[in-house]
Structure 1
């Protein structure tokens, strides 16, 4: 399926998106979030900012973060399984960084499985650097998490123009 990436829409996640988000969450993660977890983020967490990436009304991916003071913490980011490998993760991460800056963040952090080199390479392209380990962070197999931090460009984020 060919896709015009200029037609991608980024918008705030709504409760109506949750069924589509749960399907992607279950494809992407061994310990997926529940409907209640997403509902709680959307309704009760004043720090939460969740974005949906859409093409022709179809949800292709999503990302979420908490923006607290000048720091943004990515909670989850995922692309639909059949849409991976097309650079959409890059675009979504770029959009999350832009959104974080809009809400006043100067730095961004996330955790990633130490074994997930694909994600780590993506994050490094966007300025993330290793900053430590959270031992046995993942409940499904007690895998360690790599903590990564990036300084956010307050002026104009890298990555936007060259594609």
Structure 2
């Protein structure tokens, strides 16, 4: 079910406590506030929140990477509160970050996802992301990651 009351805007310092609350709700190895502060400082144009009448319900942060051969966006973190999942916030955040990265010259988007997070993998596949390869012991607890990409051209 799509919710048209979801608004996407650039993240601000004042949003960090709400972003951290979502991060701690969803992830077994959450980023701390200093990591989000660094992401906001380094990539202020690539950090967004989704909000509705109840406040911040999700966020996405990304960076740009240039391999010398290609430029791509790298989604560092994306999350939507459990109670708000399935209402379109994740798709809106993903579309916004992809657009912003394309404007900056990205030819593709990259992200890592836990091998155990099948729901997230299905979400990314629905948005045209494909598995590229596995990264052994990517997460702090030793779990492997799947590197997924979506090419724009």
Q: Please, what TM-score do these two structures have when normalized by structure 2?
A: 0.88
Q: In the aligned structure 2, how far is the partner of 1:73 from the partner of 1:12? A: 17
User: Which residue number in structure 2 is paired with residue 160 of structure 1?
Assistant: none
Please list every run of 5 or more consecutive structure 2 residues that lacks an aligned counterpart in the other structure. Answer: none
Give the aligned partner of residue 149 of structure 2: 149
Is the CA contact (8 Å cut-off) linking 2:2 and 2:87 kept in structure 1? no
Conserved in 2, the CA contact under 8 Å of 1:52 and 1:59? Answer: yes
Residue 145 of structure 1: how far off its partner (Å): 0.3
| Aligned residue in 2 for 1:54 | 51
Q: For residues 127 and 9 of structure 1, do their structure 2 counterparts lie closer, same or farther at Cα, with a shift above 3 Å needed? A: same
Instruction: Spell out, residue by residue over 1:65-100, the C-alpha distance to the aligned partner (whole angstroms, 9 max, x if none).
Output: 102342100000000122123232222212221222
Superposition misfits of 4+ residues, deviation over 3 angstroms:
none
C-alpha distance in structure 2 between counterparts of 1:63 and 1:130, whole Å: 20
Query: For structure 1, which runs of at least 5 residues remain unmatched after alignment?
Result: 154-163
**What's 2:98 paired with?**
97
Identify which of structures 1 and 2 has the higher relative contact order when contacts are C-alpha pairs closer than 8 Å and 6+ apart.
2
Alignment correspondent of 1:161? none
Deviation string for 1:35-85 (max 9, x for gaps)? 111111122x25871111111361010001102342100000000122123
What is the match of residue 38 of structure 2? Answer: 40
Q: TM-score normalised to the size of structure 1?
A: 0.83
Q: Is the contact made by 2:8 and 2:92 (CA closer than 8 Å) also made in structure 1?
A: no
CA positional deviation for 1:102: 2.1
Q: Are the structure 2 counterparts of residues 133 and 47 from structure 1 closer, same or farther at C-alpha, using a change threshold of 3 Å?
A: farther
Give me the whole-angstrom Cα distance separating, in 2, the residues matched to 1:94 and 1:14: 20
Check conservation: 1:114, 1:143, Cα contact below 8 A: yes
| 1:126 positional shift | 1.3
Distance of 1:14 and 1:98 partners within structure 2? 19
Structure 1 counterpart of 2:4, from 6, 11, 23 = 6
Question: What RMSD over aligned residues (CA atoms) do the two structures have, in Å?
Answer: 2.0
Aligned residues: 149
